[in-house]
Structure formats: C-alpha cells, structure tokens
Amino acid sequence: AVGRDAGPLRIGYSTQSILGRGMDPECVAAVEDAVALLEGLGHEVVEVDLPVDREALARAYIAIVAAGVGAMVDDTERMTGRKPRSEDFEGATWFLRQASDVLSARELEQARDSVATATRRLGALFADQIDMHVTAGKGTCPGTPLKSGSAPFSAKTRSTAASISAVVIPGRSIE
C-alpha cells in the first residue's frame, strides 16, 4: 500500500553501457557512489549483467532515432514552406536525416523487434530477480568535460547522476 515502508529492496546495478560502449570512468564512479549509498540505506545491491544484445540494441537505437529525426526534418517543409537544407540544421541532425533516407522498412521493423526483445528480457529480470536497477545510462555523464579546460564533474553530482538513472518499480521507495 502507498505510504507503507516497502522494506529493503533488491537492487541491481551495472557499470556497463546498455548500448555496448565503454563506460566513462566518471560514470562508473557515480554508479559505485550510488551503490554505496543504497547499501548504507539497508538495501541488497547486486551487480547484474543486463540480458540484452547490446550491439543489436545500439543498431536499433540509431535506426529508430534516424527514422524519427528524418521525419521531423522533412516536416519542417510543411511548417516553413521551405525545403530542408543541411545548413539549416546541426550536423548530427542532418546526418540522421540522411541515414533515414537509406533506412529500409525492414531495418526499421528489425530495430523495433530488437527493442521489444530487450524489453521482454528486462521485464523478466525485474519480475524474477530485482526491484530496481541503477546504471549511468548512456555511458557518459552529464557535465563530463567536452572541451579541454572544462570544469570536472564533482563527486557529489556523480552520485546524483547515477541515482537518477534508476528504474523504480511503482509502490516502492528507497527513502
């Protein structure tokens, strides 16, 4: 029931990016900070290997994002009355629009199937083994310096960044 103490949770964590890339050391530290905090609050925290095909999921991510961005860029013609031009968009946006031009319907459906498979596997993980999962998400932390000389990401905000990537099951609380 809402408002009742759920007791200790079984919390999984991962220091691997779900999209298959290496994890930024700042992100690993953020996850480790969050794990220590959660253990200190009395929760059982276990490392889990997410049961997903990271390469397939990364390809699916690009395909689905490219299809969506391509449609949005093309829709600007309807909104503005002008044909979209590369100089009107950021380089990454225009690149994704171009990728959408060569993406087949079959590839988009395969991408959606990869996401559905990952969703089912993650659902089973939550149903059978853990109440929530903590990770740094993309593998790069917000505030990670993008340019030489940028301010470093602080230890205090690292823990917060990892914590906000937690997936929480409704009716549970880590307070």
Q: Tell me the two tokens of residue 68.
A: 């969506």
pTM: 0.70
| Tens digits of residue pLDDT in 2-44 | 677 778 999 999 998 887 777 888 888 999 999 999 999 999 9
More confident residue, 5 or 140: 5
Q: Which of 44-53, 140-149, 154-163 has the highest mean pLDDT?
A: 44-53
